Structure 1
Amino acid sequence: MNLLADRVVLVSGGTQGVGAAVVRAALRQGATVAFSGRRAEAGESLAAQLRDAGGEVTFVQADVSDPAQATASVQRVVECYGRIDGLVNAAGLTTRGTLLDTTPELFDAHVAANLRGPFFTMQATVRDLVRRGEPGAIVNVITMSAHGGQPYLAPYVASKAGLVGLTRNAAYAHRFDRIRINGLNIGWTETEGEDAIQRRFHGADDRWRAEAAARLPMGRLGQVDEIADMVVFLLSDRSGVVTGSVIDWDQTVPGAHD
C-alpha cells in the first residue's frame, strides 16, 4: 500500500524484537529507514540483509540512554537524508526490580533508557520538523504495565508511565505544528528479549511460551509483526488526525474484573 512512501523514518532499538519488526514493516510500506541500537555487529548484519532485499536502510550505532547519542542518532539521519519525517522509540530496558530491592543505579538505568532516551530523540526530531515547517509523526512503544504493572517491574513501570505523560505533553505542545505523537501500550509479546528475561529472572525453560499462551484469552502471545503493522498505521496518514493517544494493544482490559 506504500503507506510511508517518501518518508524518512528512524527506529530506535531496531536491531531485534519489536524494533526490527517495525523496520521491516516500514520498508515494506515504502519508507527510507534508519535504525539505531547498541550492538554494531547485529545492526550492520541486519542492515546488510535488508539492503540485499532492496531496502533503503541505514544502521546508526547509538545507546539512547546517553542523551548525546540519542540526539546524534537523529542528527545522523538528517545528515544522511536531509530530513526526518517519522520516529519510533522502540528501545527499552525491562530488567526486574521491586520497590524494596531496586537500587538507585537500576532505577536510573530504566529512566535513562525508557524515558530520557525517547525525550531527546523526540526533541531532536521535532526540532528538525519545526525548522522545516513540515508535518511528522512519532510513535512511542510503551507497555500495558504503565497502568500499574507487576510488583517486580517497579523501575520499569515508573519510567514507562513517565513516557505516557511525555507522549501526551509533546503531542499537545506540537499539535499546531502538525506533528502527531502517539503511544502504544503493548502487552505480553513473543520476542528474543522476552525469552531471555523469562529464562534469566523467572527460571523458564523451553515450555514457557506454550504455558503462557494457555493462560491468555486469545490463546497466544502478541506477535511483533502485528505490533509493527499498528506502528506503521500510526506513522501514516491513514491514522488521520489522531494525536496524544496512548492505545492499549493487548488482550486484557485494565480496570475490568469479575
Structure 2
Amino acid sequence: MNRLDGKVCVVTGAASGIGKRIAEVYAQAGGKVVIADLKLDAAEATATEIRNAGGDALAVAMDVTDEAQVVDGIAKAVAHYGQVDVLVSNAGIQIVNKITDFSYADWKKMLAIHLDGAFLTTRECLRDMETRKTGGAIIYMGSVHSHAASKLKAPYVTAKHGLLGLARTVAKEAAAYGVRANVICPGFVRTPLVDKQIPEQAKELGISEDEVIQNVMLKDTVDGEFTTVDDVANVALMLAAFETNALTGQSLVVSHGWYMQ
C-alpha cells in the first residue's frame, strides 16, 4: 500500500471536488495535508473534517493567481510543518464559450488560474525542496484536454496543454534534488465544475443535457462511465508515494479509456 507517513502535502483547490478527495486520501495514508483554497472558511471546514477523522490538516487561504498569497500560504505551511514534500496543483475553473465570443478578460483569468497558479505554487514549493534536497513530488491536475481538444474550451485546452511543458521542465530542473513532476489527466469527473458545464454545453450545442453526457462527455469511454474522484485521488497517491526519478515528466490519463496514449 502506498504510504505518505509524515510527508507534508499542499493541495490547492482542496476545499471541494477532486482536491478535497486527494487531501482526504493523503491524510488517510499518513500525510500531513495543507488545504489551500480561495475560500478560507471552506478550507477550514475541510481541514476540520480531516482532523476529526484522525488526520493532520492545516487550512490556508490562497488565491493561486496572487503572488503574495501564494508566497504567504506556502510560508505558513513550512512554518507549521517544517517543510513541503508534495504539491498538488489542482485549483481550476471552467469558462465555456466560442473563441469569437470569448472576452480577453475571461481568457486571461483562465490562464492565470491554471498556469500562473501552477507556476507560483511550484516555485515556492521548489524553493523549500531545493534547500532541503530530500526529494519530493509535484503533481499537476491536467485533463484529457492536455492531449486533446474540444470546442468551446480554448483557454482551458491551452492551459492544460501548457501544464505538460511545465511538468517536463520541472522534472529536468528538479531531478538533481530528487523531485519528480507529473501530470494527472482525468476524463470527465462528476464534480460541480462538470455539472455546471452540462447545461452550458447543451445550450451552446442545441442538444439536451442527457445528450451532452452520453454523446459528448462519455461518448469515447469504454464503459460509458464518469471518472470518479477516487479514481483520480488513488493515482495522485501513487504519484506522491513513488520514490524515484523513474516516473517523472509523465502524464497519466485517467479517463475510462476516453483517451489512450
Common fold by TM > 0.5: yes
Letter paired with 1:248: V
Could you list the per-position Cα deviations for residues 155-199 of structure 1 after superposition, in whole angstroms to 9, with x for gaps in the alignment? 111111111111111111111211001111111111122112223
SS at match of 1:174: helix
Question: What is aligned with 1:220?
Answer: 225
CA deviations on 1:127-147 (whole Å, 9 max, x unpaired) are: 101111221111101011122
Distance 1:242 1:196, change over 3 A: same
Partner of 1:245: 250
- In the alignment, structure 2 segments of 5+ residues that lack a partner are none
2:17 equivalent to 1:17: yes
Q: Note the alpha carbon deviations across 1:191-215, whole angstroms, 9 max, x for none.
A: 1221122234535768976786577
Q: SS in structure 2 opposite 1:100?
A: helix
Q: How many residues align?
A: 255
1:40 paired residue number: 40
Q: State the TM-score, normalizing by the size of structure 2.
A: 0.90
Say if 1:36 and 1:73, in contact at 8 Å, map to a contact too. Answer: yes
Q: Which runs of 5 or more structure 1 residues have no equivalent in the other structure?
A: none
Matches for 1:78-93 after TM superposition, within 5 Å: 78-93=78-93
Amino acid corresponding to residue 191 of structure 2 in structure 1:
T
Which whole-Å CA distance do the structure 1 matches of 2:62 and 2:210 have between them? 32
String of CA shifts for 1:208-228, please: whole Å, max 9, x gaps. Answer: 767865774212100001110
Q: Cα RMSD over matched residues?
A: 2.1
Instruction: Normalising by structure 1, report the TM-score.
Output: 0.91
Counterpart CA distance in 1 for 2:137 and 2:219 is: 36
Instruction: Give the fraction of aligned pairs with identical amino acids, expressed as a percent.
Output: 27
- Tell me what 2:112 maps to: 112
Q: How does 1:177-192 map to 2 (within 5 A)?
A: 177-192=177-192
1:233 aligns with 2:238: yes
Contact 1:140/1:183 (CA < 8 Å) preserved in 2? yes
Which moved further from structure 2: 238-247 or 86-95?
238-247
For residue 195 of structure 1, what is the amino acid of its counterpart? Answer: D
Q: In structure 1, how many angstroms separate the alpha carbons of the residues matched to 2:111 and 2:236?
A: 23
Q: What corresponds to 1:8 in structure 2?
A: 8
